[in-house]
Every structure is written in structure tokens, then in C-alpha cells.
């Protein structure tokens, strides 16, 4: 199995998809039988490929303090 896309891990898109999955699992609307990162990565990748989200949403935020450099 491929590793999750690390370049999207700190993006607003990753956080939004991750929180949706957590909520759906908590309310027992879905069951995730694999590592959540793989599911989040797949959904993010598909949303980006289908151009359903902006490029900015998929871009990771700069590390804290990086903007000061």
C-alpha cells in the first residue's frame, strides 16, 4: 500500500477531511478498517485531481516561524 501524501498532511484540506472522518466514525455512520491517514490521503488526492478544491486548500501551511525567515 502506498504511503499517505505527506505534502498534504498539514493542509486545511487534510484537516477538514480528517475531522469529517473522525465525526463519522464517532457517530458510527462509517467504519474505517485501515489507517485513517490512507483514507484521508485518498480523499484529498481525489478531490484535488477532480479539481473540486482550490490549490490553496491542498497546500500545507508553512511551519510556525518559517514566515519570519
Q: Exposed (0-12), middle (13-18) or buried (19+): which is 55, by Cβ within 10 Å?
A: exposed
The pTM assigned to this predicted structure is 0.78
Q: 21-55 pLDDT, tens per residue?
A: 999 999 999 999 999 999 999 999 999 999 999 88
- Looking at every residue in the chain, the average pLDDT score rounds to 85
Q: 3-24 pLDDT, tens per residue?
A: 555 677 889 999 999 999 999 9
The pLDDT of residue 69 is: 47
Q: Where are the domains of the chain?
A: 6-60
Q: Where are the alpha helices (DSSP H) in the chain?
A: 12-26, 36-49, 55-58
The pLDDT of residue 60 is: 87
Amino acid at each position: 500500500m502506498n504511503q499517505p501524501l505527506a505534502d498534504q498532511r498539514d493542509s486545511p484540506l487534510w484537516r477538514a477531511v480528517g475531522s469529517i472522518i473522525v465525526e463519522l466514525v464517532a457517530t458510527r455512520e462509517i467504519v474505517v478498517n485501515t489507517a485513517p491517514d490512507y483514507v484521508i490521503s485518498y480523499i484529498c488526492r481525489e478531490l484535488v485531481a477532480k479539481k473540486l478544491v482550490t490549490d490553496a486548500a491542498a497546500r500545507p501551511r508553512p511551519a510556525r516561524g518559517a514566515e519570519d525567515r
